[in-house]
Structures are given as structure tokens and as C-alpha cells.
Amino acid sequence: MTALLPFQRRVVDALLDEDALCIVARGLGLRRVVAEFCRICATPQALVFLLNASDTEEQALQQQLMALRSGHADACTLRVIKNETNPAARAQLYRQGGLISVTSRILVVDLLNDIVPIELVTGLIVLDANRVTAESTEAFILRMVRSRNPQAFVKAVSESPESFTLGFAPLEKTLKALGLRHVQLWPRFHVLVQEDLASAKAPVAELRLPPTRAMIELQQAALDCVSATISELSSATKLLDPDAINVESSLFRYFDALVKRMLAPHWHRLNARVRGMVTDLAALRRVAELITAYDCVSLLKYLDTLLLATKSPTQAPPLWLASDSANILYSVARSRVFSRRTATEASGDEANSDQMRLLGLPGSIVPALEVPPKLLLLAKLLEEVGVANRTAIRQGRSSTSGPVLVMTGSARECQMIRTFLATAHETVDLGPGGKHPKMMADLLRGFFRWKAHMNSGSGGTAGRGRCNNNGTNSGATSSPSVAAPPQPQSQAARRGAPAAKRRRVRGASAAGAKLPRAPADALEQETATLAAHIEIHADGSQPLSHTGLGDPHSLEGINPDDIDDGWLDAADEMPEFDEFYGILPASETVLVRPYSTSGDSDFLALLQPTHIILYDPDPAFIRQVEMYQAQGHVLSQVYFMVYDNSIEEQRYLSAIRRERESFETLIRQNASLVIPISTASPVNALLLARRSQRTAVHIPMGTPTIVVDVREFYSPLPSLLHAAGFNVVPRTIAVGDYILHDHLCVERKSLPDLIQSLRSGRLFNQTESMIAHYSYAVLLIEFEMNTSFSLQAIGSLNPDIAVNSINSQLTMLVLTFPRLRIVWSSSPYETASIFTELKRDAAEPDIDRAVAMGQDDSSVEKESIYASHPIALLQSLPGVTLRNYQALANRFKSISDICAASKDDLVSVLGMEAAIKLYEFIRNSSAN
């Protein structure tokens, strides 16, 4: 376990001094700071809860606390409570004290059931405080603990400063939800941080690679598509903030959620075209990211997948696919992989064509297979580092040589690098295309197999036509434009594309037959035709190698761990086995890891690399490298690889600038932040405001009680009910979700749950159970806050009955159960007000009775022995209720027997009043 840097000790001391929200820049060792603070709290004399910890964080924290114990036998470690822990065991753990990590749902249920000794709670540590809102379960927990134990401390930490600058006063709202008044900010430009990290600087070699011409064209085309889609979306809705929604912000992953959040309140007013553009933005953002992250074959496969997904007879294709930039995007992406030879060229080179067919590839293509420049440079760097390490060993300096660590942005890039390095010295002769790396050849063959499979599965994509490849406009005519794309400055070629767009979209004549670039759908169909051709030769294809590198269809299939172990059987027969197999020295080891597994600075301390190669730029990991050297570790060299003037570089620089601007905004807000001294929750203020608008509502005396199913604590409603003054009693109940009194049961459904329950039929069973046990069965359809209060869009309403229509399914539900009542709520806050009205002048529910409902087999299970239609008819007769219809069905075998029964027989079963109603109804109906 590495020692804390001076500024990290100051962070711990600041947290010990006061309850505060601590915001630390990414990569500055927040997890190590939390571990040190938890070590101080992890004693049997204290009871501290850790909230919002993921499984990975819990495991890492347990290991760090074990390392920090330093031989102290009385030191506690982190105890984790999961769903498998029963209430008795949880109560025992709470009484023992120490540091406990527990899910928010379990803790809030235990607090309400008085399983947690609140008077013994020392404090709470809240991770990822940026996720805490006024409606969250964490705010519910803090409110209950603070109300009954004001001395308990609350420490909240976060390393996402950008989250506190989005929306209206997010920092103030978070502080109110946490019940805190102080903010501690630790950016990278903090004076103490700069002093510690400036003491030792690693030798960094910045390798700025020029992207290929094809990559430049692809990036420009993708950004043009994104810009055009944003402009079209902004002009169609007028609801987007132009300062937040732009091409630069689209490079980040939060962009999709930001657009949807802006449009959510007005979603029901948007037509299908506008909603489709929101989906297109997410796809285009992904394409722009993959240009530098994927190899050329995987990128083309992803683009073809997008194109195939748009070919639906029920929906129009996206607007961006009809643009010139989309045609450039697809044509250049294919030119990086292969080009097509003319029939004359293919017939004149039968030997190469036959060789291509034997390899499982079409004989009429010329493979290009552009290798990412980063991969080639990485192989050279590793070779140079290996030579330097071997030289150091010969000179007796082997103790300073450690492994080489290569860090990437994703696990898929790790797999690509490992596969390329494992086969870097193997090439495959692809005929007219020359020799190419084995990995690229495997990917190309897998791509055409995938296309062939898609053709056979979709009814033959190639059979839909060759995109006007008739007469003079044959498939060979369009291939030169793909093999040799024009220069980016050729504006005349781009101005010629709209003719093909009009021809393809509007169905006009082939006016654009002389286009230098083929449209996107024409390229996809031509590739599908080539893939369909190789199906004939699929059985005779020869594998490119016999090493067990998995299925070459994609990088996921090429798994170095899935190597055939057959050669191990002969290992004992090899006399020189020990000479060739053994443990590699650290200087000969290359570790490839994604940034998601880097964790914190202890990750580097565990591996102890002497050379680090940043395959993708990442600001957080760069700071980890700075801290690693500031702690006294030796680094021989750090290589920083980035494509010059690329989307990758722009995303990296924008991330640094955005974080800096966020901290500057927080510093200004913290200087003028006004937090009221009153500890009233913002939830209470909003509920009181809503209640004041309902002057006719009568609040019952005392504390009203509501029995809530424990599975409902994933939603914010129980928290809001508690804040509104209700006594929330969590129980496991079989019928309904909320029991307001002995005769009223409520089943709450959010929109996703409502749709799923209707389609699966579960809602019909739940409604039947509620009607069987309660006099008033209510289905509550609850919408989320800041979303459109509309079940379906206005344009999608259909007057006809449809099986998949939500309106039709709800109609069938009401027709099947006429006694069911449906209540619509615009938000959980509105639901709390509705429950206040429903509880008016009502007795409190019997908790034991609510739990027992549905547990016995005397009602619903007995009802299953009856036919549903006769029972429904029986329940509709006068005098027949839910309490007596089963006795009537047990006495008489059919409806005809009931109609023929005497008055005395009916009185003996139903009683005098109910029997007279039924008897008179039957006799009057028979007389008529």
C-alpha cells in the first residue's frame, strides 16, 4: 500500500474537521483517500455506513483496508451486506459496529423497521455524491438518520465536477439533499496538488501521429453528418440549448443523455422524424469515436450494420444517409478495406482469383486492409523497448527493468492489440492485394462470412438489385471511385452527389450515373453480392492458419485465451521443454489493460512498470502516472500516442478544458453559496407547496400509516411519502404495492413496468388478485418527473384495436375487471398528494392482515378451480359479492342450477337480503 501524498493527507484532515462535500479531480487518488478515512472509522467503537459502493469498489476497499491494518488485531475491515443476509444477521452486524457497506434499499428498510440502532450510528460516507438527488434513497436515509441522531457525521465525495454544473443550481440542490453546508474542491490546478506532482516529472515522449488521408476524410464526413443532424434537430424543435448542444459536445458520451433530457418534457409533441434524429445522433457519435478506435474492417462492419438496420419497410431511412457526407463516409470506409476489380481485370488474372477463393474471399476484389498507424508504431516501440531491456540485462542493470504497460480506452482495443502483437510477424499473401498482416486477413474473411450470413438470414440482400448496375452503369464502373477516392479539395465531385440522392430518394431517372462516388446503399448491396458469391466456395475455403485464435468474425471471437491445448499432451515428450517454456522476466512482459481496470494509483504500484504506453489519451490516467512517480517510483519512459488534429485529440483537450471550467464555476459558486440554516428538506418544501394548492384536503389526525412492499424502495415514492408525514411500514406483501387501508390496495406501475406487465400478462393476474382481496383495487400509472405526461405520442394514437397497442391492452384490462380503478400521476410528488386524499377519513391499515393477504390458499388458489367465464357472470348477478360467490359456486354446480334453486336454498347460502335480490332478479328475468 502506497503512502499518502501531502495533499492527500490534507484532504483526509479536511474531511475529519467538518461535514462536507468533497469534489476531487479524476486521477488524484480519491479511492486511496476514502480508504484512509475508512481505516480511521473502521473500529468496533463506531458504526459507519458506506453508501453507493459498487462491487468492484467494495473488493478494492477491502483489500486496501487489509493492507492498512499493519498487524493491528483489533482493526476492523469492511463488512458487506447483500440481499442474501437475513434481517437477524444484519441486526447482529449492526450491533457489532465497524464499517459496513450496504445497499441503500436494504438500509432504508432496516431503518424503518428499527433494525438499525440509529442512536449508535456514528456517521455515513456517501460515494458518488453527484448521483444523490432530493428523491433518491440516499437522501431518504440521511433525512431519517439526521432526524433521530443529529450528531452523526456525513461525508460525501465525488470525482465528477461536471455533474455539479449541469442544470439549474445543481450544487445547491445536492448540498440540500445531503444536508451539508460546506464544499471542498481539489482540482488539478490546486496549489498543494501542483507542488506535490511537480516534484517529480516522468520523461514523456509525445508521439503525434498524422492520420491517414482516409481517416481524415472519414472524420470530416462524420462531423458533417453530426453537424447537419444537430442543425436539423434544432430547427425542428427549437428546444435545444445551442451553447450545450454542438459538434464539440457530441464527442462525449453524456451528449445523448443531455439531448434526451432537454426534449423529455416535450417528447409527446415530437413526431417520429424528430425522435429518429435523436437516435441518429447517438449512432453518429459512436461512428466518430470508432474511426480512431477500430480497425478498418470492424468500422466497415459497424457502418453496414447501421445501414441494414435502416432498411425497414415500416420506417423511413434517416436523413443523414441521404447526404453527400454519408456517401463519402461509406465509400471511404470501404476503400480502406478492399476495392473491386473489373470483370476484365479479374478474368485476366485467374491465378490470383483462384487463390482468393481458396482463402474464403471473393476473387474479384483487391484487399487494401489499412492497418491503424498506432498499431504499427506500437509494434516498433515495443521492439525498441525490448532491445533496450536486453541491453540493460547484459550490462547488469536488469534490476531497473520492469514490464511494459500499454493502456487503451476499451477492452476491444486491448483484444485488437493483443491479437496484432501475437501475429505481428505473420503475413498472408492475398493475391493482387499483396501481403497483409494475418489479423487483418482474418478480419476480412470474417467480414465476408458475416455478410454472407446476413444475406441468407435476411432473404438475400444482394437479390434486391445491384443499384442500377445495368447497361453502361455496371458494378465495375463504380469500383474505381472506391479504390481511389478523390482528394478532399475536389468540390466539384461533391456537388455532383445530389443527383444520386434525388434518384435514390425520389425515384427519378439515373441522372447521376457519372458520380465519382457510389451511394451508401449501392456500396452495401455490392458488398452483399460479393459475399453471396463466396458462399459457393465456403466449404472449400482453407484456413489462414491452424493456430487456435478463435472465430475471425470479429475481435470478440479472436481470444488469445481460447487456444487449443492439444499440444500440451506432447509436452512431456519434449526433452527441451524447460528451455523453451517458463516464467518470463518482467523486462520481457507486455501488459495490455483498459483504463476501466486501472482503478487508482495502487494499480501502477502493483504492476510496477518501467515503460508506459498510452495508446489512447486519458487525463485521469496521466495524473495517476504523475502520482506514481511522485511517490518515489522510477519510470524509464512514458509514451503518449495521439492522432494529430483528430477527433481523438479534440475529445482529450475538450475533456481537460471542460473539467477546468467546471472547477472554476464551482469555485465561484462556493464563494457566493447561500445555504439556509433551516434543516428542512427540499422535498418537504415542495410537498407543502403542492398540499397548499389542495385546500379541500383534510389531513387526518396523528401519523397516517401506509404499508409498502419492500420491492418498491427502488422508486422515490416511499421517500416522498415519508417526507410528506406518512408512517411508511415496509413489508413483503403478495397483493399490491401500497396498502392505504384494509379495503384499498394500490398497484404502482411506471411506464416501462406497465408496458412489460401488459405484454407478459402479469398485470392481469395482479389485478385479479387485488379484486379478490380488496373492495377497492387501484392501478396507479406514475410518470417520472420532467417527462411528458402522455402515455403515447399524439401522432401514434390509433382508433383501431391492436394487439401491441398500450391503449388497447389497457382497454381490455378495464373490460375484464370493471371494478378496477386507474389513477394517473404526473410525478411521485403528485402521487404523494393523491395518497393524502385517498387516506382522508380512513382507518389505518392492519399490518398483519396486509401481509397475510394472498398468503393463504383459501381465495385465489381456490378460485383457480372454477371456470373464469361462469365466475365472471356469477359475480355480476345482484346479491353476489366477492365474499359469498365462492359459497354459491360450491353449493351449485352451474348457473342453471342457481336459476332453478328455491328461495330457501338461496337464503341458506347467501342470507336473506342477498338471496331476495338474486331470487327476484332470476324470476323477473324468467318472466320477461
pLDDT value for 516: 41
Q: Classify 902 in phi/psi space as left (phi over 0), alpha (psi -120 to 50) or beta.
A: beta
Q: Are 62 and 75 in contact (CB under 8 A)?
A: no
Span 628-638, average pLDDT? 87
pLDDT at 454 over 50: yes
pTM of the entire predicted model:
0.76
pLDDT value for 530: 66
Among 300-314, 391-405, 777-791, 887-901, which stretch is predicted with the lowest mean pLDDT?
Answer: 391-405
- Binned at pLDDT 50, 70 and 90, residue 372 comes out as very high
Of 123, 106, 124, nearest to 115 (Cα)? 106
pLDDT value for 487: 37
- Binned at pLDDT 50, 70 and 90, residue 433 comes out as confident
pLDDT at 272 over 90: no
Which distant-in-sequence residues (6+ apart) come within 8 Å of 295 by Cβ? 371, 372, 375, 416, 440, 443, 555
- Copy the grid coordinates of residue 561: 485465451
The pLDDT tens digits of the residues spanning 17-41 come to: 999 999 999 999 899 999 999 988 8
> Which amino acid appears at position 561 of this protein?
D
Span 159-171, average pLDDT? 88
Q: What is the Cα–Cα distance from 583 to 586, expressed in whole angstroms?
A: 9
Rg of the chain over Cα atoms, rounded to whole angstroms, equals 34
pLDDT value for 253: 72
Torsion of CA 321, 327, 328, 334, to 10 degrees: 110
Q: What is the Cα–Cα distance from 691 to 686, expressed in whole angstroms?
A: 9
pLDDT at 351 over 60: yes
Beta bridge partners of 185: 23
pLDDT value for 560: 34
Q: Are 621 and 614 in contact (CB under 8 A)?
A: yes
Q: Are 52 and 128 in contact (CB under 8 A)?
A: yes
Span 696-706, average pLDDT? 61
Among 295-304, 774-783, 785-794, 834-843, which stretch is predicted with the lowest mean pLDDT?
Answer: 785-794
pLDDT at 80 over 60: yes
pLDDT at 143 over 80: yes
* Cα angle 419-425-429, degrees, rounded to a multiple of 5: 100
* Average pLDDT over all residues of the chain: 78
* Cα angle 412-415-417, degrees, rounded to a multiple of 5: 110
Q: In what order do the strands lie in the sheet with 204-209?
A: 204-209, 637-643, 611-614, 404-408, 590-594
- Binned at pLDDT 50, 70 and 90, residue 920 comes out as confident
pLDDT value for 467: 37
- Copy the grid coordinates of residue 137: 434513497
Q: What is the Cα–Cα distance from 293 to 291, expressed in whole angstroms?
A: 6
Q: Please name the residue ranges forming H helices in 79-238.
A: 87-96, 104-112, 137-148, 170-178, 191-197, 213-237
Phi, psi (rounded to 5 degrees) for 387: -65, -40
The pLDDT tens digits of the residues spanning 775-803 come to: 899 999 998 877 777 776 655 566 666 66
pLDDT value for 296: 92
What Cα–Cα distance (Å) separates residue 362 from each residue in 192, 345, 414, 522, 534?
Answer: 63, 14, 30, 18, 6
pLDDT at 922 over 70: yes
Torsion of CA 646, 619, 624, 202, to 10 degrees: 60
Residue corresponding to grid cell 397548499: 692
Which distant-in-sequence residues (6+ apart) come within 8 Å of 551 by Cβ? 446, 557, 558
- Binned at pLDDT 50, 70 and 90, residue 674 comes out as confident
pLDDT value for 510: 32
pLDDT value for 275: 81
pLDDT value for 74: 55
Span 229-244, average pLDDT? 80
Other CB atoms within a 10 A radius of the CB of residue 319 amount to: 18
Among 5-14, 130-139, 591-600, which stretch is predicted with the lowest mean pLDDT?
Answer: 591-600
Phi, psi (rounded to 5 degrees) for 311: -85, 70
Q: What is the Cα–Cα distance from 885 to 878, expressed in whole angstroms?
A: 11
Span 256-284, average pLDDT? 79
pLDDT at 502 over 60: no
What Cα–Cα distance (Å) separates residue 877 from each residue in 680, 916, 919?
Answer: 54, 12, 10
- Copy the grid coordinates of residue 60: 478494492
Other CB atoms within a 10 A radius of the CB of residue 38 amount to: 22
Q: Provide the 3-class DSSP secondary structure of residue 209.
A: strand
The pLDDT tens digits of the residues spanning 319-342 come to: 888 888 989 999 999 999 988 877
pLDDT value for 465: 37
Q: What is the Cα–Cα distance from 211 to 199, expressed in whole angstroms?
A: 35
- The residue with greater pLDDT, 354 or 641, is 641
Q: Provide the 3-class DSSP secondary structure of residue 350.
A: helix
Span 428-452, average pLDDT? 86
pLDDT at 861 over 90: no
Residue by residue, DSSP assigns 228-293 as: HHHHHHHHHHS-S-TTTSSTTGGGSTTHHHHHHHHHGGGGGGS-HHHHHHHHHHHHHHHHHHHHHH
Residue 372: Cβ-neighbour burial (10 angstroms; 0-12, 13-18, 19+):
buried
pLDDT value for 33: 92
- The residue with greater pLDDT, 162 or 344, is 162
The pLDDT tens digits of the residues spanning 505-541 come to: 333 333 333 334 446 667 667 777 766 666 544 444 4
502-507, long-range: CB within 8 Å, 24+ apart, which pairs? 504/322, 505/322
- 3-class DSSP string for 530-581: HHHHHHHHCCCCCCCCCCCCCCCCCCCCCCCCCCCCHHHHHHHHCCCHHHHC
Q: What is the Cα–Cα distance from 16 to 5, expressed in whole angstroms?
A: 17
pLDDT value for 534: 60
pLDDT at 115 over 70: yes
| Count helices and strands in the chain by DSSP H and E runs | 39, 22
Of 668, 585, 577, 653, nearest to 622 (Cα)? 653
- The residue with greater pLDDT, 574 or 86, is 86
Q: Please name the residue ranges forming H helices in 693-827.
A: 717-723, 751-760, 762-773, 806-816
pLDDT value for 569: 37
Span 593-603, average pLDDT? 79
Provide the terminal-to-terminal Cα distance of the chain, rounded to the nearest Å.
93
The pLDDT tens digits of the residues spanning 377-386 come to: 999 999 988 8
Span 438-451, average pLDDT? 88
The pLDDT tens digits of the residues spanning 174-200 come to: 999 999 999 999 999 999 999 998 876
What is the CB-side half-sphere exposure of residue 657 using CA atoms within 13 A? 9
Q: What is the Cα–Cα distance from 582 to 825, expressed in whole angstroms?
A: 67
| Residue % of the chain over a pLDDT of 90 | 29
- The residue with greater pLDDT, 271 or 343, is 271
Of 440, 452, 466, 446, nearest to 523 (Cα)? 466
Span 231-257, average pLDDT? 78
Beta bridge partners of 708: 730, 738
Q: What is the Cα–Cα distance from 376 to 369, expressed in whole angstroms?
A: 13
Longest dimension (CA), the chain: 117
pLDDT at 854 over 80: no
The conformation of residue 472, written as its DSSP 8-state character, comes to: T
Strand pairing category for 705-709 and 738-741: antiparallel
Q: What is the Cα–Cα distance from 36 to 45, expressed in whole angstroms?
A: 17
Q: Provide the 3-class DSSP secondary structure of residue 174.
A: helix
Q: What is the Cα–Cα distance from 629 to 625, expressed in whole angstroms?
A: 6
Of 441, 457, 473, 448, nearest to 528 (Cα)? 448
pLDDT at 756 over 90: no
- Binned at pLDDT 50, 70 and 90, residue 862 comes out as very low
Phi, psi (rounded to 5 degrees) for 820: -75, 135
The pLDDT tens digits of the residues spanning 65-78 come to: 887 776 555 556 88
| 517 alpha-carbon distance from chain centroid | 37
